Amino acid sequence: MSIRINDRMIEAFRAVVTVGTATAAAEIMNTSQSSISRSILRLEEITKVRLFDRVKGRLHLTQEGQVLYEEVESSYVGLERIQQTATALRLKQKGHVGIVCAPVLSYGFISDAVALFCEEFPEVSVSVETRRSNIIAEMMSAQRFDLALAEYSSDPPGVATEIFAEPDLVCIFPKGHRFENIETLSLKDLADEPLIVFPPHDAHRKRMDDAFAEIGIDPFVRVETPMSTTVASMVAKGVGVAVVSVFTAKSFPKDHQIGVRPMRGAGKFTVKLWRPLHRPTSTIVDSFLSHLFNCRDKYIQSGPAP
């Protein structure tokens, strides 16, 4: 009897892609590292495709693995989401708001808006999912969420769009760094600094590479990572400096070991708001949007310092 792909294999695959190691994936799935490794090996055996390259203890997607991951992300509906829906139906909750956003926006900024909204509407449930912007575009075209925040150049069909925010980028660096003595930084100031950057396929990374190329600088890239929280954590530990959005910079407490300075000539961080054209609207969603806009204004207007 042939072995088929099962939910456990897909969940393990998705977890490993998210956190980078089988050990960390095992922690979030509440299982053993060996169980995760077996699931990945079985998935590779069934598909007859190598999904990961194993480099210094970490798992990196191959080109074929990336294709499979994008398909999983576009169609994945986990048991947790189904359970949430069943619970909401059982409790007859008075409403629900579903939002999907880019990972860079999913920390302090979104958390603030959700906290304020839940305080005002304690009986309304909220779901927040994070995806890459190209996957968000597919989801919103399918009318799967009430709201989306994405860093994406083109709009998918079936959505109403507006610019949600367009703040200047900022530089974050370890406390005690020489940048503390400079009021505003430029890309030239970063020429000899070790940089922590997003992967080459990231839209923000592509714009930064173009900006450096325009002024003839070949930047020293020390670390690449897809998660803004990982970027900030490495900066705090002195690994290097990074150019990020103000939303990332302000997601950490003031006592965090990170300094922030505005950037000149580094460009802006453009966030689009998408709403589905063919999904029923509600005053509850409008109320959530109001909190979202208020939190946006708070983050942007109070300057770059964390």
Angstrom CA distances, 213 to 62, 205, 210, 217, 240, stand at 28, 12, 5, 6, 20
pLDDT for 53 equals 87
pLDDT digits (tens, 9 = 90+) for 280-295: 778 889 999 999 999 8
pLDDT of residue 287: 93
> Cα(87)–Cα(89) distance, rounded to whole angstroms?
5
Number of other residues whose CB lies within 10 A of the CB of residue 210: 10
Q: What is the pLDDT of residues 202-237, one digit of tens each?
A: 778 888 888 899 999 999 999 998 888 888 889 999
- pLDDT tier, 253 (very low <50, low <70, confident <90, very high otherwise): low
Give the confidence band of 92 by pLDDT, cuts at 50, 70, 90: very low
Give the confidence band of 1 by pLDDT, cuts at 50, 70, 90: very low
Average pLDDT of the residues in 135-146: 89
Instruction: Give the rounded distance of the alpha carbon of 243 from its chain centre.
Output: 15
Amino acid at 153: S
From residue 177, alpha-carbon distances to 181, 193, 237, 241 in Å are: 8, 11, 12, 9
What's the CA gap between 84 and 56, in Å, rounded? 38
Per residue in 141-197, pLDDT (tens digit) is 888 899 999 987 688 899 999 999 988 899 999 999 999 999 999 999 999 899 999
Give the chain's domains with CATH numbers.
7-75 (1.10.10.10), 88-166+270-301 (3.40.190.10), 170-264 (3.40.190.290)
